Structures are given as structure tokens and as C-alpha cells.
Amino acid sequence: MAAQAERVPWVIVAGGFHQHGGMDRANAALAAGLLELGHHVHLVGHEIDQRLGAHRLASRHEVARPRGAPALAERLLARTGASVARAVLAGAPDARVVVNGGNCVWPDINWLHAVHAAWPVRDDGAPWWTRYRTRRLKRVAVARERAALQAARIVIANSDATCRAAIDLVGVAKSRAHTVYLGSDPAWGVPSGAERVAARDALGVPPDVPVVLFVGALGNDINKGFDLLWRAWRSLSRTGSWNARLIVAGGGWRAAAWKREAGRLYPPGHVRFLGFTPHVRDVLAAGDLLVSPVRYEAYGLNVHEALCRGLAVMVTETAGVVERFDSTMSPALLPHDVTADGLADRLRAWRADVEGWRSRASATAARLRARSWSAMAADLIAVVQESRSRAASR
């Protein structure tokens, strides 16, 4: 009977619930975990996976995303989220409402995937009107984030680094802040030999050539650090002895210029820009190393999933996912102020010991694979319930 009483409705307000982005995948996993436990879940978002939304206990509340108008899309999501939350709470006062960062100001659970106050604007090389809009949108995002986090009864962050940023930069009380690490999909395990061969064949990569991957957006924001990797790659290629291939998965307007440059500098297939792809799992099966020289990264699900797929990684030491690394992975950590030359040196070290890098990552990878998305959802629910119990006892 107690378990039945705990099956209260939940409202989740998120940009999306699907498998094509880090935050969207996490929100979809939380929703799936709640549905599995028998909760009625209201999904409020721009994109909702058909299978998730079709669950008998799920209610879909899709919100339009006007093309080229991100600020309007955010307002529509916030308005719809608040409206659905009010309606659900009117019928079920014990219902729980989850929002993400500043996407909706609501006094319940804020699941924080990034902190705008800690996320610098890096739009070097973008047109002036784009830089102007980016800074205006950042000011709005920081203000909405502050209002939402200060209104929240409980803040759940995806890493200790995210949690500290919420406390230090936004003023969230330590007593309200918690960390719940992300989970993994069992299907994102080490690929079989046949799967690896098929993935390489699809990308036109010979079986004996090492493959470096970059997975991230290539739009206005260069915080993902591909510009650093590109300069390092050009430097390595000029030596004449660098034989690795580079595959880039990610969309954005900057990709076109890099792709044209690659076409001038390299033979066909040596550097490939895939654009946005829903097949990141298959791309990872073809790789040996994922490089993520981020300037800001609250967590780093691309790194997490690359490890689960059996790759070695390089990632900036300030990324949240690094908190989960074993000490044997110290060579994988890039300094926060890494330069293109420093990254090139690290790539040379990896190339000289490809299997050693993969082996040193194996223990961390096994631990990440062992934690499912269902376990993450259960931990988040437990934190919420414990917080509610403490509040009730007071």
C-alpha cells in the first residue's frame, strides 16, 4: 500500500525526450524509469520520442519550436510547463514537477544539466549580429537560471562540478543541492568484432588505421573545442608521418568551412564530417579515441558513452565526467588551458600506445557500463523522496 501511495504523478519539463542529445537522453531515461515504476508522467517538451509518449501512463504535451526563434521557443516551453504543472497539481497535490535549469521557473525539483553562469560565451569568428544575439540570449538565460534555481526546493546536478557552480555562482543553498550521476544504456557496450568491421566499412575506414573521433556541435559556440583539435590535426599532418583518420559527428554552420578546408588539404576519406547524425553509437564502434578538448562541460555524455563503447578518451580536466575516472586515466586529462600544440603532443603520445590507452580506460569504462539509466532514475527519485521526508518531518 505504501508503494502505491508513492505512485504520484510527475511532470517533466525538458527541451526533448529522445536519444539524439545528452540532456534529451537523460530526460527520456528519467521518464522511462518513472513509467516503469507505475507513475503517470506528463512529458512537456519540443520533441518527444514516439514510443515513450505512447506509453499508457504517459501524457504528451508537445510545444512548438519556431524555427530561428530560440527565445520564443523557450518562452513557449516555460509557459506550457507551468500550465501543465498547475493543472496536474490541482488534481494531485502531491505531484512532483521537474524542470531543467532555467527552462521553467517552478518551486519543486530542478534537474541541472549545465550552468549558464559558469558557461562563457565563446563565439570567436561568428558574424557581429550573431555575437550580439548570443550575448543577449546568454544574459536572459543567466537571469532565468538564477530565478529558477533560487525558486527550486531541491536542485539535482549531473556532477559535483555542476553542483559547486550552482552553489558558488548562483547562490543555491548547499542543503538543497545534490549530485546524481548519469547512467548508461546496456546496448552501448563494447562492440563485437563484426560490429566494428561493419562500422568501419560504412565509414570507409581500413581495418588497420587508427580512428580519432570528435562528437559535438559545430555552431556559434566553440566551447566544445573542435577549433583546438583542428589546429592540432593540421600540425600533426604536416609532419608527413601522421596516419590516423579523423571523423567528426556534429552539425552547425562552422562545419562547412572546416569541411572545405579538409577537402583542400587531405585525400578523400582521411577527414570526414558527418554532420548531425542519430547514429553516434555506430560511429563510436569504428573509433579508437574520442577527443573532447572542451572549454566548458558540465558533464560530457559523449565521453561517457565513448568509454562504454571501449574507446580511449582525451577530455579537459574540468569536465564533470572526469570525477568518475580512475587514477590510471590521468594521461587522458587535458589542462583547462590546453593549446593546439599541447593537444598535438598528447595525440602523439596516444598514437605511440593506442592499446595502452584503451587498456587504462577499461576499469572506468566497466564501472560506467554497470550503472544503468534505470539506476540513475531510481537514485534521483530517492533523493527527491528523502528531501520531501525531511521537509515533512520539520
Cα–Cα dist 24/358, whole Å? 28
Provide the 10 A C-beta neighbour count for residue 2: 5
Q: What is the mean pLDDT of residues 200-208?
A: 93
- 193-370: which CATH architecture? 3-Layer(aba) Sandwich (3.40)
Position 191: which residue type?
Answer: P
Q: Round the average pLDDT of the chain to a whole number and report it.
A: 93
The pLDDT value given to residue 309: 97
The pLDDT value given to residue 316: 98
Cα–Cα dist 8/359, whole Å? 45
Per-residue pLDDT tens for 22-63? 789 999 999 999 999 999 999 999 999 999 999 999 999 999
Provide the 10 A C-beta neighbour count for residue 34: 24
Q: What is the pTM of this model?
A: 0.93
Percent above pLDDT 70 for the chain: 98
Domain with CATH 3.40.50.2000 in the chain: 2-183+371-393, 193-370
The pLDDT value given to residue 239: 87
- Selection from 243, 247, 256, 233 nearest residue 203 by Cα: 247
Per-residue pLDDT tens for 77-113? 999 999 999 999 999 999 999 999 999 999 999 999 9
The pLDDT value given to residue 20: 82
Per-residue pLDDT tens for 351-390? 999 999 999 999 999 999 999 999 999 999 999 988 877 7
Q: At what angle do helices 22-36 and 301-308 cross, to 10 degrees?
A: 70
Query: What is the assigned CATH class of domain 2-183+371-393?
Result: alpha beta
pLDDT band at residue 67 under the 50/70/90 scheme = confident
The pLDDT value given to residue 5: 38
Is the separation of the CB atoms in 58 and 12 below 8 Å?
no
Over 90: is that where the pLDDT of 1 sits?
no
Per-residue pLDDT tens for 261-281? 999 999 988 999 999 998 999
pLDDT band at residue 392 under the 50/70/90 scheme = low
The pLDDT value given to residue 126: 86
Is the separation of the CB atoms in 22 and 302 below 8 Å?
yes
pLDDT band at residue 4 under the 50/70/90 scheme = very low
